[in-house]
Structure 1
């Protein structure tokens, strides 16, 4: 992450980017990866840091990888494991959702919960025609079903629909901007939580320095 005072050239040099793991329809995500990666650092976002530190506006970049349940552990290392998780789908068939997709989402969420991971979102990618039809003929949509099955009061804003910018660039602008803004926000929230956890662990290690078994080398490596 870079502060807003840095030049674009400096921001392009960012190396240690937060990792975001993508589950669901990987091929769908791959069609959106390039515009998403390009859009995230275009605007700054507010980073409300812990322990009374001054709020900063930063430019954020991210690296996206395919979800791997064996590498989803919520470990302390901020650079080697995913900091945030997104499930992607373009399902618009309620029956298919009931018979297949719901179980897949449930399994994904259980895998995250098993590893004490609470930073995630679900994205439903629609075409403009489908979005228009749903507005003209009010009915229960797949997104409504997903929310009904998995949303809690504190996670309602983690369920997002977006018009596919590849298939309808002009029509998708507003929903795409909203999605990018949410991705930025949630990555920062997840990063901040992970950073707080890491700092607390470091303080615990430092406070144990008088312990006969305390190892300075291990403490140094942690930093």
Structure 2
């Protein structure tokens, strides 16, 4: 497949942010087609032909169409030139997969509620402050477990960044953006890991333009 891949997505989406971070870290060329989540474009008939559940991102490469961020990240890692971000040894691969699975199950739904409270209350079902506190408690448990899983490693699954770091980083970006990140600094190892991730070129190159939210966030 020689054609450039195409990423369909909404740049502020944390999952699109993850995919873009890996593509940038790999130095891969790709097309971007915006799909405005807030405007409801994922529910359009045209987008549902790409993703029957009306979600982003969607990654298309030649005749291959990939749904689900974890699958997209694996494909990019295995297909495009540049360093691999999947650990070689089975222990670290298990740590990577566990971190990604935990975030998918317990992190992403909470992040949507927290960010929705601060930025898009109507879109998010008008969560209350009590709802947000409950979600933040769950995120504290999640990040505590991720740091426990990380141990003394520099990154979530070893001494080099893995797919897990790109997967989780956007959540931390948004928690910092809305001023809800300070409570996580007390978790042993969290701040050192987060500061390390923020130096990754792919992460920095993929920080979304949030001017439509009334501000531009710089790296």
**TM-score, normalised by the number of residues in structure 1:** 0.31
Larger Rg, first or second structure (1 or 2):
1
Query: Which structure dedicates a bigger proportion of its chain to strand?
Result: 1
Q: Which has the higher contact order (CA 8 A, sep 6+)?
A: 2
